[in-house]
Structure 1
Amino acid sequence: MRILLAGLVLSITLVTRAWDGNSKIYGVNLGSWLVLEPWMLPQGWLDMGGQSCAVCSTCIATESSFAKAYPDTVDATFAKHWDTWFTKDDVEALTAAGINTVRVPLGYWIVEALVDRSHESYPRGGLGYLRRGLKWLKDAGIEAILDHHALPGVQTPGQMFTGNCTSDVQFYTPYNYHRALVWTAVMTTLSHLDSDFGSVFSIEAINEPIMDASKTPNYGTFQKNFVATVRAVELVLGIDVPFMTLDVSASVSNNFTAALSAACSSTIFTPEVQSALADAVPILVEIGVQYELQTVLEASSFRKQSNSPLTTNFMDMNWQYNNNSNPADVADGPQAYDNHLYYNFGGVADPNEKAYMTSICNLTRVQNDAAQHNSPLWFGEWGLSTQFNATDEFLYQWADAQKLAYSKGAGWLYWNFKTEISNLTNGNALARQWSYLEGVKLGFFTKDPSQLHDPDVCVPYTNHSTESRRAHHRRLIH
Structure 2
Amino acid sequence: MRHSLLAGLVAIAAPASAWLPGVHKDIYARDGSNLFNTSAVPSGDSSKRWLPASGKIRGVNMGSLFVFEPWLAETEWQNMGCGAYQSEFDCVSGLGQSAANAAFQKHWGSWITKDDITQMQSYGLNAIRIPVGYWMDESIVYSDSEHFPQGGLSYLSQLCGWASDAGFYIIIDMHGAPGAQVASNPDTGQYAPSAGFYVDYQYDRGTTFLGWLANQIHTDNNMRNVGMIGIVNEPVQGSSDDSTLLSYFYPNAYNAIRNAESALGITSNNYLHVEPMNELWGAGNPNQNLNNPVFMAYDDHRYLKYDSSVTVSQSAYLENSCTANRNSDNETPTIVGEFSLSPPTDVQDDSDWDTSTQQAFYKQWFAAQVTNYESNTAGWAFWAWKGQLGDYRWSYQDAVSAGVIPQNINDVYNENACSGY
Q: 1:154 and 2:154 equivalent?
A: no
Q: Deviations over 1:75-103 (max 9, x none)?
A: 00101111110111111111111111100
In the alignment, what sits opposite 2:165? 139
Q: 1:44 and 2:76 equivalent?
A: yes
In the alignment, what sits opposite 1:90? 116
* 4+ runs deviating over 6 angstroms: none
Q: 1:375 and 2:332 equivalent?
A: yes
State the 1:64 CA deviation. 0.2
Contact kept in structure 2, 1:17 and 1:310, CA below 8 Å: no
State the 1:344 CA deviation. 2.1
Larger displacement relative to structure 2 (165-174 or 83-92): 165-174
Contact kept in structure 2, 1:369 and 1:377, CA below 8 Å: no
Residues in 2 aligned to 1:88 and 1:407: alpha-carbon distance in whole angstroms: 27
Please show how residues 178-197 of structure 1 align to structure 2 within 5 Å: 178-197=204-223
What SS does the aligned partner of 1:117 have? coil
State the 1:110 CA deviation. 0.6
Q: Partner letter of residue 433 of structure 1?
A: R
Residues in 2 aligned to 1:216 and 1:153: alpha-carbon distance in whole angstroms: 16
Residues in 2 aligned to 1:337 and 1:393: alpha-carbon distance in whole angstroms: 32
What SS does the aligned partner of 1:121 have? coil
Q: Partner letter of residue 152 of structure 1?
A: P
Q: Deviations over 1:304-327 (max 9, x none)?
A: xxx511111110022125xx2333
Q: Partner letter of residue 237 of structure 1?
A: L
In the alignment, what sits opposite 1:395? 362
State the 1:50 CA deviation. 2.0
Contact kept in structure 2, 1:66 and 1:74, CA below 8 Å: yes
What SS does the aligned partner of 1:452 have? helix
Q: 1:314 and 2:346 equivalent?
A: no
What SS does the aligned partner of 1:85 have? coil
Q: 1:173 and 2:135 equivalent?
A: no
Q: Partner letter of residue 36 of structure 1?
A: F
Residues in 2 aligned to 1:188 and 1:453: alpha-carbon distance in whole angstroms: 36
State the 1:168 CA deviation. 1.9
Residues in 1 aligned to 2:202 and 2:378: alpha-carbon distance in whole angstroms: 31
State the 1:232 CA deviation. 1.3
User: Kindly tell me: are residues 228 and 20 of structure 1, through their superposed partners in 2, closer, same or farther at Cα, counting changes over 3 Å?
Assistant: farther
Q: Deviations over 1:204-243 (max 9, x none)?
A: 10000001141334111211111111111222222345xx
Contact kept in structure 2, 1:446 and 1:453, CA below 8 Å: no
Residues in 1 aligned to 2:181 and 2:213: alpha-carbon distance in whole angstroms: 19
State the 1:190 CA deviation. 1.2
TM-score normalized by structure 1? 0.72
In the alignment, what sits opposite 2:21? 18
In the alignment, what sits opposite 1:279? none
In the alignment, what sits opposite 1:418? 386
Residues in 1 aligned to 2:289 and 2:373: alpha-carbon distance in whole angstroms: 24
Q: Deviations over 1:390-409 (max 9, x none)?
A: 41110111111011111121
In the alignment, what sits opposite 1:335? 296
Q: 1:439 and 2:396 equivalent?
A: no
Contact kept in structure 2, 1:314 and 1:327, CA below 8 Å: no
Q: 1:64 and 2:85 equivalent?
A: no
Q: Which of residues 80, 99, 116 in structure 1 aligns to 2:125?
A: 99
What SS does the aligned partner of 2:184 have? coil
In the alignment, what sits opposite 1:200? 226
Q: Partner letter of residue 24 of structure 1?
A: K
Residues in 1 aligned to 2:112 and 2:307: alpha-carbon distance in whole angstroms: 30
Q: Deviations over 1:365-385 (max 9, x none)?
A: 22x121xxx111110000111
Q: Partner letter of residue 412 of structure 1?
A: W
What SS does the aligned partner of 1:369 have? coil
Residues in 1 aligned to 2:380 and 2:309: alpha-carbon distance in whole angstroms: 19
Q: Partner letter of residue 250 of structure 2?
A: Q
Contact kept in structure 2, 1:19 and 1:201, CA below 8 Å: no
Larger Rg: 1
Residues in 2 aligned to 1:90 and 1:455: alpha-carbon distance in whole angstroms: 26
In the alignment, what sits opposite 1:406? 373
State the 1:20 CA deviation. 5.3
Residues in 2 aligned to 1:313 and 1:124: alpha-carbon distance in whole angstroms: 26
Q: Partner letter of residue 351 of structure 1?
A: V
Residues in 2 aligned to 1:358 and 1:136: alpha-carbon distance in whole angstroms: 38
Contact kept in structure 2, 1:17 and 1:200, CA below 8 Å: no
Residues in 2 aligned to 1:228 and 1:237: alpha-carbon distance in whole angstroms: 14
Residues in 2 aligned to 1:84 and 1:217: alpha-carbon distance in whole angstroms: 41
Residues in 2 aligned to 1:226 and 1:202: alpha-carbon distance in whole angstroms: 13
Residues in 1 aligned to 2:310 and 2:22: alpha-carbon distance in whole angstroms: 34
In the alignment, what sits opposite 1:223? 250
Q: Partner letter of residue 224 of structure 2?
A: G
Residues in 2 aligned to 1:340 and 1:315: alpha-carbon distance in whole angstroms: 8
Q: Which of residues 139, 143, 146 in structure 2 aligns to 1:120?
A: 146
User: Kindly tell me: are residues 186 and 449 of structure 1, through their superposed partners in 2, closer, same or farther at Cα, counting changes over 3 Å?
Assistant: same
TM-score normalized by structure 2? 0.81
Q: Partner letter of residue 215 of structure 2?
A: T
Residues in 2 aligned to 1:133 and 1:68: alpha-carbon distance in whole angstroms: 27
User: Kindly tell me: are residues 386 and 454 of structure 1, through their superposed partners in 2, closer, same or farther at Cα, counting changes over 3 Å?
Assistant: farther
Task: State the identity as a percent.
Answer: 30
Residues in 2 aligned to 1:167 and 1:333: alpha-carbon distance in whole angstroms: 36
Residues in 1 aligned to 2:22 and 2:141: alpha-carbon distance in whole angstroms: 32
Contact kept in structure 1, 2:87 and 2:189, CA below 8 Å: yes
Structure 1 unpaired stretches of 5+:
1-15, 52-58, 242-306, 463-478
Contact kept in structure 1, 2:61 and 2:338, CA below 8 Å: yes
**Larger fraction in helix:** 1
What SS does the aligned partner of 2:412 have? coil
Contact kept in structure 2, 1:101 and 1:142, CA below 8 Å: yes
Contact kept in structure 2, 1:417 and 1:435, CA below 8 Å: yes
State the 1:348 CA deviation. 4.2
Residues in 2 aligned to 1:77 and 1:445: alpha-carbon distance in whole angstroms: 33
State the 1:453 CA deviation. 4.9
Q: Deviations over 1:236-293 (max 9, x none)?
A: 222345xxxxxxxxxxxxxxxxxxxxxxxxxxxxxxxxxxxxxxxxxxxxxxxxxxxx
